Chain A
Amino acid sequence: MTTSNDSIPSDISDDYPEDHPLHGRLNLDRFIFCPGCLIGTAITSITSCLVERGLTSKEYAIVSGIGCTGRSSGCFKAPAFHATHGRAIPFATGLKLANPELEVFVLSGDGDLFAIGGNHFIHACRRNVEINVLCNNNGIYGMTGGQVAPTTAIGDYTSTSPFGNIEPPFNLVSLAAASGASYVARWPGYDVLRLKKSIFAAMDNPGFSFIEVLAPCFTQLGRKNKLGDAVGMLDWLKKQVVIKTDCPPQDAIYSREKQKIICGEFVNSPREGFTQKLQKLREVAQSKKR
């Protein structure tokens, strides 16, 4: 049993036991998240899906941006990239286009993907590049000290909305669908079975896949708005979640006022992916004398 970080007690391993299915896949000493945070669940869900699909780390790559979920890429024993703030998607796009064989996952937060990285998100949806983007949506900037995010509910108190947030939040499902994502889903982060099923569906989709994972931040949002501790916020979330099948993305309600967040699979409409189109384009370019 070895550890590579002095701050980790020596009786805690940096890997799972050898008989664990995820043995050798994660750096447990890099799980820096608050105890009870669902980021870890998203990391292990992705890893479980990759393992169950029989993929080795030479067949996939992980990219994250900056923030709490931005630190997730370091947890993977794989080619893993901690990009600049908001730029995980274009980084992943370059990786995928230069090596289309790779299964590429982006795991990042709502501030990273939808504030500073919002433009990249909508264009990646439109381009339908074959990457899988998971957004850990906690409705606040966690790492920088609990500032208001483009996903923060109206009225929420944050360190930069001390009198209550006055900006309406994005509905990430509707945004992804309207931008052209060919697979769109939303799940509460505690619902691991449905989340994993959705990750498999995202990997099967030959295009851009987006999964919103609801992962409440008790440390920042919970504390500032008296929404509960780690377990208390899961109950709080559970009371709002309604799982629906065949719900069109424009009706995927995400509303604090109504105390309702509709979860499910909203878009699964495979169409030709960008790397496939690029390959056809190469054939055209090479057949024409210009």
Chain B
Amino acid sequence: MSSESNKGASQPKRILTTGNYACAEAAIAVGCRYFGGYPITPSSEIAAYMSRRLPQVDGTFVQMEDELASIVSVVGASYAGAKAMTATSGPGLCLMSETVGLAFMLEAPLVIVTVMRGGPSTGQPTKASQSDVMQTRYLSHGDYEMIVLAPGSVQECYDFTIRAFNLAEKYRTPVIVATDGIVGQMMEPVVYHSDFEIIDRKAPQVPPEKYKPFEVIDDDLVPGMAVAGSEYNFYVTGLTHDFNGSPDMTPERAVSLITRLSDKIRKARPEINDWEEQHLKGAKTVILSYGINSRGTPETVERLRQEGHKIGFVRLKTLWPFPDELMERLGKMGVKKVIVSEMNYGQVIREVERFRHLGFEVSGILIPTTIPFSPDFIYEKVKKEI
């Protein structure tokens, strides 16, 4: 375990470590001081690392009795003022779904790292997968928006976990970092930066006697957040509620609350969404991938370009909210075909297909396997398509 120093996160540090450890160390660096979790392969190293690191920085690690309790305790800790997180994998994320809905309704900032493995059910605990993309989006019942980041390297596990906390705090919403069994457990050189921005949640903007927990003052639709232990009194409920937190079962309130909560994220899409692009200029075909499965694609693209094909590459760094702007950009740039390459039986491709009217065909390399596609494999598949 590579935790011996970096306690105050002062100097950037280059080390060799795993994605799971990088997620955990990033959380410490950005100020996470509460972790409630439950062991599950292939995420367990995050809990183990936090159990060692958090007490060193006056934080709290607790192994709860199940994932239901883990995520609820994280919401509680968030409302006591802590930056808080949990980590799990698909089956555990299933159990957390109800409380992700609660966290969205209570506007509780928190981070969940889910290390994707093969499913459904117990599936393939020790293997990688990208089959939980839709799970991360539609965990809870009801209308809501999720922010989901997809690291493809150990470095990105560190960087994206920091960003996840900042987004959670800024928009007062749960944020998921969706890694996978390979990124989580493989070792790579990584730089632990220390000069990054740290965003803290918006404090109440009025004195206690005037405070209403869900009253929005700013254009960003994010209300100031009071926490337990302060001068502020407030009541928060998963029931549809008015500005004061009081349950309100009128259709008008359902509309105003749900649209405000969702629009808070939708409006921020240009700031939240992030992707990498290569050789888009003049490209007629674009391969779209993300996470661990994007690692082999650039080599394939270079090889095809050397053969004279007009082909480019985009890699999603954020999966949700879906980057509609990227699709519009591909349409405007005259792309004629988007090939979605993912380690599942077709998930992100459904989103891309929504944009066929922009003038590009959509096809997929969609295999619910546990091994990322090699450059040769992608080459053979793409070659048949162009």
Partners in one complex: yes
Residues of chain A at the chain B interface (Cβ within 8 Å) = 4-5, 27, 30, 57-59, 61, 63, 73-74, 76-84, 86-87, 89-99, 101-102, 119-120, 123, 278, 281-282, 284-286, 289-290
C-alpha spacing A140/B72, complex, angstroms: 25
Shortest CB-to-CB span from A285 to chain B, Å, is 4
B238, A87: Cβ atoms closer than 8 Å: no
CB-CB under 8 A from A285, the residues of chain B are 52, 55-56
Quote the shortest CB–CB distance from B301 to chain A (angstroms): 45
In the bound assembly, the distance between CA atoms of A91 and B34 in angstroms comes to 13
For chain B, residues 57 to 116, give those with C-beta under 8 angstroms from any C-beta of chain A. Answer: 58, 60, 62, 64-66, 68-70, 72-82, 84, 98-99, 102, 106
**Also in contact, A94 and B36, with CB within 8 A (given A99-B229, A119-B65, A286-B56):** yes
Q: A30-B235, A90-B70 are in contact. List 6 more A-B contacts (CB 8 A).
A: A81-B236, A83-B238, A94-B36, A94-B77, A98-B81, A285-B52
A73 proximity list for chain B (CB < 8 A)? 235, 237
Tell me which residues across on chain B come within 8 A of A78, comparing CB atoms. 233
Q: Determine the main DSSP class of A at the interface with B.
A: helix
State whether B228 touches A84 (Cβ < 8 A): no
Report whether A58 and B229 are in contact in the complex, using a CB–CB cutoff of 8 Å: yes
**B80/A95 in contact, CB under 8 A:** yes
Chain B residues with CB below 8 A from A89, complex form: 69
Contact of B65 among A77, A84, A123 (CB under 8 A): A123
Query: Chain A residues near B73 (CB, 8 Å)?
Result: 90-91, 93-94, 97
Nearest to B69 among chain A residues (CB) is A90
Query: Is A79 a contact partner of B233 (Cβ separation < 8 A)?
Result: yes
Name the CB-closest residue of A to B53.
Answer: A285
Residues of B with C-beta under 8 A to A5 = 246
**B251 → chain A closest CB, angstroms:** 16
Q: Which residues of A contact B227 (CB under 8 A)?
A: 79
A119-B65, A123-B65 known; A74+B84 contact, CB < 8 A? no
The residues of A that contact B246 with a CB separation of less than 8 Å are 4-5, 30, 74
The answer to whether B98 and A61 touch across the interface, beta carbons within 8 angstroms, is no
CB distance from B159 to the nearest CB of A (A): 26
A112 vs chain B, min Cβ distance (A): 13
The answer to whether A91 and B56 have CB atoms under 8 Å apart is no
Cβ of B68 and Cβ of A79 under 8 Å apart? no
- The reply to whether the CB of B218 lies closer than 8 angstroms to some CB of chain A is no
> Does B239 reach chain A (CB closer than 8 Å)?
yes
Chain B residues with Cβ below 8 Å from A58 are 229-232
Q: How far is the CB of A134 from chain B (nearest CB, A)?
A: 18
In the complex the two chains form, is A98's CB within 8 Å of B233's CB? no
A281 / chain B contacts, CB cutoff of 8 Å: 55
Can you spell out 7 A-B residue pairs with CB atoms less than 8 angstroms apart?
A63-B76, A80-B233, A90-B73, A99-B81, A99-B82, A120-B65, A284-B55
Instruction: For the complex formed, measure the closest distance between the CB of A82 and the CB atoms of chain B, giving whole angstroms.
Output: 4
A83 and B72 contact, Cβ closer than 8 Å, known pairs A97-B34, A97-B62: yes
Asked if A80 contacts B235 (CB within 8 A), the reply is yes
A95 & B228 in contact (Cβ 8 Å cutoff)? yes
Instruction: Chain B residues near A74: list those with CB within 8 A.
Output: 235, 237, 245-247
